[in-house]
Structure 1
Amino acid sequence: MNTLDIIVFFVYIVGIAVFGGSFFKKTKTSSSYTVGNNDIPGWVITMSIFATFVSSISYLALPGNAYQSNWNAFVFSLSLPIASYIAARFFVPLYRKVNSPSAYTFMEQRYGPWARVYVSFCYLLTQLMRIGTILYLLALTLNAIAGWDITTIIILTGLVVTLYSMLGGISAVLWTDAIQGIILIAGAVVCVGYILFSMPEGPSQVIQVALDNEKFGLGSFNLDLSQPTFWVVLVYGIFINLQNYGIDQNYVQRYMASKSDKEAQRSALMGGLLYVPISALFLFIGTALYAYYQSAATLPVELQGENMSDRVFPYFIVNVLPAGVSGLLVASIFAAGMSTISTSFNSSATVFLTDYYNKFVKKPVTDKQRMRVLYISSTVICVLGIAIAIAMINVKSALDAWWKLASIFSGGMLGLFLLAIFSRHKNSIGAIVGVIAGLMVILWLSLSNIFLGPESLGNSFHTYLTIVFGTVTIFLVGFLVSLIGKKKINVG
Structure 2
Amino acid sequence: MDAPVTITFSWYDYVIFGCMLGISAIIGIYFGCFGTKQSTPVEYLMGGKKMGAVPIAVSLVASHVSGLTLLAVPAEVYKFGAAYWLIALAFVLVVVVTIYVYLPVLFYSETPSVYSYLGKRFDEKTRMLSSFFFVLTLVMFLPIVIYIPALALSAATGISVNYISPTICAICIFYTTIGGLKTVVWTDNIQLTLAVCAIIVVLILGVDATGGFSEVWLKATKGQRLDFFDFDPDVTRSNNFWAPFVGLTFLWISWTNTNQSCIQKLFSVSTFKEAKLATVLYGIGMSLMATFGILMGLIIYAKYSNCDPFLTNQLTRNDELVPFYVLDVGGHIPGIAGLFIAGVFSVGLSTYSAQLNCMSATIYDDFVSKFVSKSLSDGRKNTILKVIVVVCGVISTGLVFVVERLGGMFGLAQAFSGIPAGPLLGMFTLGILFRRANSHGAFYGGIVGLVVIMCLSLPAKYLESQRMIVLPEKPVGVDGCNFDTNVTFVNVNDDGVSFAIFRISYYYTTMIGFLVTLVCGLAVSYATTKNVVDENLLSPVIRKVQNSLSN
What TM-score does the superposition give when structure 2 sets the normalisation length? 0.81
Structure 1 pair 240–157 and aligned structure 2 pair: CA distance change class (3 A): same
Question: What's 1:311 paired with?
Answer: 320
Give the deviation of 1:135 after TM superposition: 2.1
Q: State the secondary structure of the residue aligned to 2:257.
A: helix
For structure 2, list consecutive stretches of 5 or more residues without a partner in the other structure. Answer: 1-8, 464-468, 470-496, 533-551
Partner of 1:156 in structure 2? 167
Matches within 5 A, 1:343-362: 343-362=354-373
**Deviations for 1:272-298, whole angstroms, at most 9, x for unmatched residues?**
222112211211111112222358x88
CA change 1:487–1:175 in 2 (3 A) is closer
Instruction: Label 1:455 to 1:302 Cα distance change in 2 as closer, same or farther (>3 A).
Output: closer
User: Of residues 66, 69, 72 in structure 2, which corresponds to 1:55?
Assistant: 66
Within-5 A mapping of 1:379-458: 379-392=390-403, 396=406, 407-425=418-436, 427-446=438-457, 458=501
Q: Distance in 1 between matches of 2:459 and 2:311?
A: 38
The alignment partner of 1:98 has SS state of: coil
Question: Contact 2:205–2:329 (CA<8 Å) still a contact in 1?
Answer: no
1:344 Cα deviation (Å)? 1.2
Query: Could you say if the C-alpha distance between residues 180 and 403 of structure 1 is closer, same or farther in structure 2, counting changes exceeding 3 Å?
Result: closer
> What CA RMSD, in Å, does the superposition of the two structures yield over aligned residues?
2.9
Please name the residue that 2:89 is paired with: 78
**Would you say the 8 A contact 1:206–1:291 is kept in 2?**
yes
CA change 1:285–1:466 in 2 (3 A) is: closer
The answer to whether structure 1 residue 216 and structure 2 residue 226 are counterparts is yes
- Pairing 1:8–2:8 present: no
Q: Matched residues in 2 for 1:293 and 1:461: separation?
A: 30
- Structure with greater helix percent: 1
What residue in structure 1 maps to residue 521 of structure 2? 478
487 and 258 in structure 1: CA distance in 2 versus 1, 3 angstrom threshold: closer
1:205 correspondence with 2:211: no
Aligned pairs, number: 483
Provide Cα deviations, 1:339-366, integer angstroms capped at 9, x if missing partner.
0000111011111221122233244211
Q: Which amino acid aligns with 1:465?
A: Y
Q: 1:467 aligns with which of 497, 500, 510?
A: 510
Between the aligned partners of 1:401 and 1:283, the Cα distance in structure 2 is 19
Is contact 1:195–1:289 with CA below 8 Å preserved after alignment?
A: yes
- Runs of 4+ residues deviating >6 angstroms: 399-406, 447-451
Are the structure 2 counterparts of residues 259 and 227 from structure 1 closer, same or farther at C-alpha, using a change threshold of 3 Å? same
Letter in 2 for 1:221: F
Cα deviation, residue 433, structure 1: 3.5
Tell me which moved more, 219-228 or 141-150: 219-228
Q: 1:308 to 1:239 in 2, by over 3 A?
A: same
CA deviations on 1:126-163 (whole Å, 9 max, x unpaired) are 21332222222222221111011322211211111111
1:289-308 aligned at under 5 Å gives the runs: 289-294=300-305, 299=309, 302-303=312-313, 308=317
* Residue range with higher mean Cα deviation, 472-481 or 438-447: 438-447
Supply the distance in 1 between the matched residues of 2:67 and 2:514 (Cα, whole angstroms). 27
Please give the per-residue CA displacement for 1:171-229, whole angstroms capped at 9, x wherever unaligned: 11011111211221111111111112233x44432233223333322152122222222
Indicate the larger mover: 206-215 or 134-143.
206-215
**Cα deviation code 1:232-273 (max 9, x no counterpart):** 221111110111101000101011111211111211222022
What are the superposed Cα offsets for residues 79-131 of structure 1, whole Å, 9 maximum, x if unpaired? 11211221122222222211111011011111211111111122123213322
User: How many angstroms does 1:329 deviate by?
Assistant: 0.2
Question: Counterpart of 2:18 in 1: which secondary structure?
Answer: helix
CA distance in 1, matches of 2:304, 2:157: 23
Match of 2:137?
126
User: Which consecutive unaligned segments of at least 5 residues does structure 1 have?
Assistant: none
For 1:167, which of 178, 186, 189 is the aligned residue?
178
Once residues 334 and 283 of structure 1 are traced to their aligned partners in structure 2, the CA distance between those partners, rounded to angstroms, is 19
Aligned to 1:266: 277
Closer, same or farther: CA 390–114 of 1 in aligned 2, 3 Å: same
Letter in 1 for 2:14: I
Q: Which amino acid aligns with 1:159?
A: A
Return closer, same or farther for 1:483/1:280 CA change in 2, 3 Å cut-off: same
User: What corresponds to 2:197 in structure 1?
Assistant: 186
Query: 1:444 touches 1:458 (CA, 8 Å); kept in 2?
Result: no
* Pairwise CA distance, 1:479: 2.0
- Contact kept, 8 Å, 1:303 with 1:309, in 2: the verdict is no
Q: Aligned in 2, Cα 1:258/1:281: closer, same or farther, shift over 3 Å?
A: same
2:446 and 2:192 map into 1 onto residues whose CA distance is: 36
User: Aligned residues: percent identity?
Assistant: 24
Q: For 1:241 and 1:421, how far apart are their aligned partners in 2?
A: 17
Q: Which amino acid aligns with 1:90?
A: V
Tell me the SS of whatever aligns to 2:49.
coil
Alpha-carbon contact 2:62-2:351 (below 8 Å) kept: yes
Q: Which of 33, 40, 53 is the equivalent residue of 2:51? A: 40
The aligned amino acid for 2:372 is: V
Equivalent-residue separation in structure 2 for 1:455 and 1:289 (angstroms): 34
Q: Which amino acid in 2 is paired with 1:16? A: S
In 2, are the aligned partners of 1:166 and 1:378 still within 8 Å (CA)?
yes
